[in-house]
Amino acid sequence: MKTELMSANYAAARAVMSARVEVVAAYPITPATTVPEQVAYLNEKGLWNGQFIRVESEHSAMFACIGASSTGARAFTATSSNGLLLMHEALHWATAARLPVVLANINRSVSPSWNIHVTHDDSMSQRDTGWIQFYVASVDEFYHTIIQAFKLAEDERILLPVMVNADGFVLSHTVQPYDYLEPEEVDKFLPPYNPPHWTMDPENPVSHGNIVFPEFYQEFRNQMHEAGKNALMVYEEIEQEYKKLFGKYFGGPIDCYRCDDAEVIFTSQGSMGAEAKDAVDELRQEGYKVGNARIRMFRPFPVDKIRELGSKVKGIAAFDRGVSYGFGGHVASEIRSVMYNTDHRPMIKSYIGGLGGRDMTVKDIKEVILDMVKAVESGETGAEETWHALKE
């Protein structure tokens, strides 16, 4: 392991090397572009000897990954925003085909208007595709989570694709130190991919994806659903192993900070969760019993962890950097739904903001948390949904 200084995108390309990915297929889109650029560079320099397919669209990128993974190769792609949306059909295909493809999504706003900065709408709108989804808060976490993602995806109890999300520009183009692992070091954690059930092989021909009638379709879907839920438990195992081997631990499905005795917790996804630690520290100094729960895993949703957290607090300020238009914050809605069938229902308020790359500073986060604290103290929930710093 050696410490390097790079942007998240450059580090993601190094994760391709470290994890001995065999096939990458990708198409340029800001801000993901520097991932395939670096993959190309490493490939042409002979530092990474896999196959890089310079496809003509994101739809083709994911289907090339599907073709490669179906033939037993470890496959990876990276994209953002409209590129991820163009892949939508392919995302469903990869999960239902049970292929362990890994995708680095650099979160970017969806057009129009053109905006290349972070909003989580792109990946949140892939919620129901069955992809496992992580949101990370640092370059180091991005790099290592991509490596872990292959292990998780390829586990026989899972066999599903994994999307690792990093905030556009805030992480993708921001240089931070991270700890690089040589492929030889990763080998002891991540063995070569060996498809346990089927692969495209003329020696042992199978047809994959044939017509399945109503008598069985539902059973296939149920298996996929159950496999997805297994990821919560399997990922905990994986993180423990990773910690033992490399001394890295990112907090499991939810990275909790000063939550133990907190009365109000702030939840968020992505890089904001790092800023929120500072906000919590400052508020603690000011005498508020608050904590920060950074939701790393959005699918499968960490139901038990949320319930455990929710059972101990008076209020949850659930922050979303995206919107399910016509209803509300994606994650806030899930948290509410998870808490409904519990004995102790804390006050839950949804906050939406930071869209289109608008900064969410420590000051902003403190305002949100204090609004929640005020609601708890007064006993009045007030607005169920608040758009933070919305101009009138």
Partner 1 sequence: MVATKDMPLKEYVLKGNAACAGCQDMVALRHAHKALEGDVIQVVPACCTSVVQSLWPKSGLGIPVLNTAFMAAAATASGVRAALKAKGRDHTTVMVWAGDGGTFDIGLQALSGAFERRTDFLYVCYNNQVYSNTGTQRSGATPLHAATTTTWFGKTEPEKMLDLIVAAHEPAYQATANTSYPRDLYDKVKRAKEIEGPKFLHIFLPCPQAWNYPVEKGVEIGKLAVETGYWIQWERIGDEFKLGRESKRFQDPEKRKPIEEFLKLQGRFSHLFKPTKDEKKIQELQDYVQHRWDVIMRTFT
* Count, residues near partner 1 per rule CB under 8 A: 42
Rule CB under 8 A: say whether 213 interacts with partner 1: yes
- Cβ-based nearer residue to partner 1, 71 or 176: 71
Q: 271 to each of 51, 84, 159, 240, 296, how far by Cα in Å?
A: 31, 20, 28, 23, 10
Say how far apart CA 312 and CA 161 lie, in whole Å: 34
CA 230 to chain centre: 16
What is the C-alpha R_g of the chain?
A: 21
User: What is the distance in angstroms between the CA of the first residue and the CA of the last residue of the chain?
Assistant: 51
- Cβ-based nearer residue to partner 1, 54 or 229: 54
- Cβ-based nearer residue to partner 1, 79 or 386: 79
Rule CB under 8 A: say whether 216 interacts with partner 1: yes
- Cβ-based nearer residue to partner 1, 99 or 104: 99
Rule CB under 8 A: say whether 149 interacts with partner 1: no
Residue 229, token pair as written in the block:
């839920």
- Cβ-based nearer residue to partner 1, 159 or 280: 159
Q: Tell me the closest approach of the beta carbon of residue 309 to partner 1, in angstroms.
A: 40
Residue 80, token pair as written in the block:
């953002």
Which of 11, 25, 234, 368 is close enough to bind partner 1 by CB under 8 A? 25
Which of 4, 28, 71, 308 is close enough to bind partner 1 by CB under 8 A? 71
Say how far apart CA 362 and CA 51 lie, in whole Å: 43
Q: Tell me the closest approach of the beta carbon of residue 213 to partner 1, in angstroms.
A: 7
Which of 2, 3, 45, 56 is close enough to bind partner 1 by CB under 8 A? 56
Burial bucket for residue 204 (CB in 10 Å: 0-12, 13-18, 19+): exposed
Strand order across the beta sheet in which 132-135 lies: 51-53, 23-25, 75-79, 102-107, 162-167, 132-135, 297-299
> What is the SS3 assignment for 354?
coil
Which of 4, 40, 41, 67 is close enough to bind partner 1 by CB under 8 A? 67
Binding site for partner 1 (CB under 8 A): 22-23, 25, 50-51, 53-57, 59-61, 63-73, 75, 89-90, 93, 200-202, 204-213, 216
